[in-house]
Structure 1
Amino acid sequence: MITSYNFYFCHIEIYEDYVKAIMKEGITVLPEHNDVLLLITEKHFKNKPFVYITHRINSYAVNPTVYLETAKIPNVIGFAVVSADHRQKIQTKLEKAFFNKEFKQFDTLELALKWKDQMIKKYSDQKIV
């Protein structure tokens, strides 16, 4: 891990090629929360591709229009939701409709990280061509 941030609505960890966010219990994720993500991406991922991973260990709500804004961040190449909860899997299917980039749900963080590696490699391979 490079660094981490603790905000009123989430805890974010920054790694070389991904962000891992854990939202706080009971919050509602709103489009304005993307302002924080934008600042972090400018600071840590300037012109560098990365994957956003949300580890859903707490119960909270998501306004799905947040993904319309997240998708505008040019170097976000994928979004992963980590949760084995059946309700979260259903919610993720709805959220995916609002995000026009790669968006996947995983039962474990390990599976999400393997997918992240594939996404980074795929992006790198496309840039070479």
Structure 2
Amino acid sequence: MGESADHLRFVQVPALGLTPGYSHLAEVRGGRTVYLSGQIAVDAQGEVVGPGDFTTQARQVFENLRLALAEVGRTFDHVVKLTLFLTDMADLPQLRAVRDEFIDLAQPPASSAVQVAGLVRPELLVEVEAIAAAP
């Protein structure tokens, strides 16, 4: 965090109310957009990390996003949108706590959270996809 992002503007729309940990919209002015596929809690060998442990899985998901961003020379400072997929919306507070370790809370990305019936592997509890933009 702390990298200059003059090409980005994160907006809270007063008429839509205060939002915890996300912006109502993110505006990208010029630059390059990177779309990250949904990341799941697997390690480099494709093994599930933390079966049955939501927080461990969430942390692996965000670490995988960090690694993907780094591959193209980007960080979470460049993320303008997160989409969170959970198998149980009751886990959202835990997911937000982990997310908050990675994002800039002063300028949080736009975000959506969706409860799903299941993910690509039955032992997975969370998946997160991202859109990043850089000058």
- Indicate the TM-score class for this superposition, using the shorter chain for normalisation: 0.3 to 0.5
Structure ID, larger Rg: 2
TM-score for both structures, normalised by structure 2: 0.34
Relative to total residues, which structure has the larger helix share, 1 or 2?
A: 1
TM-score for both structures, normalised by structure 1: 0.35
